[in-house]
Each structure stands twice: as C-alpha cells, then as structure tokens.
Amino acid sequence: MSQKREVFISVDIETAGPVVSEHSMLTVGACLAYQPEIEFTVMLKPITDRALKAALDVSGLTLEQAEKDGLPPAEAMAKFADWIAENVPENCSPVFVGLNAPFDWSFVNYYFLKYHGENPFGFTALDIKALFMGATGCSWYDTKSSSIDKNVLPSLQGDHDALNDAKYQAELFRLVHEKVSDASPVKA
C-alpha cells in the first residue's frame, strides 16, 4: 500500500469566543504551507449573538461587521472545501497545520461537519507547538509562539488577522519542520 503525498495547509481562525457552537467562527485564513502565496480567506456570518469582548478585542472584529460582510456558514465552508480541492492534487491528502491546532481545528471541524457535511482534513490536525516540542525537547511552556520565534527566527509576525496569521504559521511550520528533518536519521 503506497502512502499518499501530504499537502500541508496552514489554517488560522478568529472567533467570538472559545466555545464551539456557542461562539461563532468569524474568519478563516489558510495558505499552502510550502506555497503561502496560494491563499484563502473568508468572513462568516455569526451563528449566535454570544461573544466575549476579550475575544473580539484580540481580532478587532465585531459581530455586526461579520453579519454585514460575512458569508453564510454553509457558503463559506463550501468555498473553503472547493479551495482545498483545487489546491490538493488527486491522490494527495490535505493536512491541517495550526499553532494551537486543537483550538482552530475544533471550530473548523465543527463548521465543516455541520454546514458542509464532511471535513476535507479528516479527523486530525498537526500542531506546530507539539512539533516544536518534539523537535527541541523543550517544555510545553516554551512552545508559545514568542519562544518558537526566538528559536527559528521567522521573517513574519502574527497580528490576529486570520490570513496573515496563517502565513506566519506556515513560515513557523516550515522552519520547525526543517529542524525535525535535519535531526532525522538519513533513510537508506
């Protein structure tokens, strides 16, 4: 059985709070991790009026802005699924890559399943924090983006814009993945 080639896709989201289904996913940004110029972004209409001020303050988004400018969730997730299909060749697997992937993936998974019927990423995600911990042997505390930055020296920075953060995360992933690859034994 041959293994499918993996296409790493960096994904970031901004939300109205931390609880899936109680708080809305407001924006999604994504790019191919090794071709970040191939990108996707969408704003979604809120699915609830519940929001935490602190979550909205981080991104600068408002529920009113998302209601006015966002797409209905079913349309937004269909567009995201179409973008993934267009950019992942046949016989390849898309791999969701995130920084604190469990948070972002939980919202993306919920929205794909509820509004699109399936998640193109399947049921898993690759977390850059965990990859970094494995590559360096550091503590979990030292997997904050600021600690990773000091170690791999990216040219980009996060700014809580979903697309910009997806590109920043793609760069972190490439740099950390390179560390892992450099440390791996040579395969015969």
- Catalytic positions are 160
Residues with Cβ within 8 Å of 12's Cβ and at least 6 positions away in sequence, in order, are 28, 29, 30, 98, 99, 104, 162, 163, 165, 166, 169
Q: Which alpha helices (DSSP H) does 122-184 contain, by range?
A: 128-136, 145-152, 162-183
**What is d(CA 157, CA 167) in angstroms, rounded to the nearest whole number?**
9
91: left (phi over 0), alpha (psi -120 to 50) or beta: left
DSSP at 23: B
Residue appearing with tokens 């990423």: 121
In b/e form, how buried is each residue of 4-22, taking b as 16+ CB within 10 angstroms?
eeebbbbbbbbbbbeebee
